[in-house]
Structure 1
């Protein structure tokens, strides 16, 4: 669906169609009429004729005060942007030889991120000789996910990527 900006709208003499469907100032349907009749009706009402749906057959025009209409549209767009929630990805890094208390601290941080609605990327980094035991360390990530299963679901299973192993968690709906 194409989003129209206010500047894309045609008003009064900019409308070049022969016939248009007209909506009155109070929102009532005035029917299909010639462009001259529509302009005359808008002029009599003391407001503008604004083409609001150019893709329709015939195009839809509304008799409305253009300045007020423009203001209302901008306000609606601003409200829609306010209600959008951006989901961030928070990263938690651990090592394969992490101690239980450190792991509990990381679990608490992950729980906090998840309850705020963010996704969590858990990265286990391997260094040196730890690379030889990557498969044996997967249980740490699985245990971490089990600890958080009351508030999280595994979005992507643990997977080795180069020198690290990555797992994604998302908030449980």
Structure 2
């Protein structure tokens, strides 16, 4: 900006957005000083570089306001984990199922895990059935982001809400 611009000539854009044309850097700086504004290089890679006459302090303030508003409006997606056991009873399954639905409706991803203890690991098909049943029951509100897969003593599946899944 201003004296830090190192080009000989620049394409100049006025304060109200009109094209002034290609000017030498001295002429452009003089026009900016006469308007009591700054000369800002907005496209340094162009041939010739594009400079604009503007109030740089006001411009930076408005940019920061826009960034703050964008940060305020963005939703942080959490990963919630729900654990199942291989020999889970029906009522316990229903409670955990309702939690999964609640998390998905809030826009969070869900990591559904079946934990195997002791010799239960030899019956991994039971865990597969539990996770398949869960994925079928919540199919209308979510996508399976990662299919059930055995990792150590746990079988893990990740579900993502339909409105935020890629």
TM-score normalised to the size of structure 2? 0.92
SS at match of 1:158: strand
What pairs up with 1:73-152 in 2 under 5 angstroms? Answer: 73-152=63-142
Check whether the contact 2:103–2:110 (CA below 8 A) recurs between aligned residues.
yes
What pairs up with 1:148-167 in 2 under 5 angstroms? Answer: 148-167=138-157
Per-residue deviation at 1:82?
Answer: 2.5
Per-residue deviation at 1:64?
Answer: 0.8
TM-score normalised to the size of structure 1? 0.89
SS at match of 1:130: helix
Per-residue deviation at 1:156?
Answer: 1.3
Residues 87-143 of structure 1 show CA distances to partners (whole Å, capped at 9, x for unaligned) of: 221111111111111111111111111111111110100000111111233111111
Residue in structure 1 matched with residue 51 of structure 2 by the alignment: 61
SS at match of 1:160: strand
In 1, Cα distance between the equivalents of 2:92 and 2:53? 66
Check whether the contact 2:127–2:155 (CA below 8 A) recurs between aligned residues.
no
* Gaps in structure 2 of 5+ consecutive residues: none
* Gaps in structure 1 of 5+ consecutive residues: 1-10
For these two proteins, the number of residue pairs brought into alignment is: 163
Check whether the contact 2:86–2:126 (CA below 8 A) recurs between aligned residues.
no
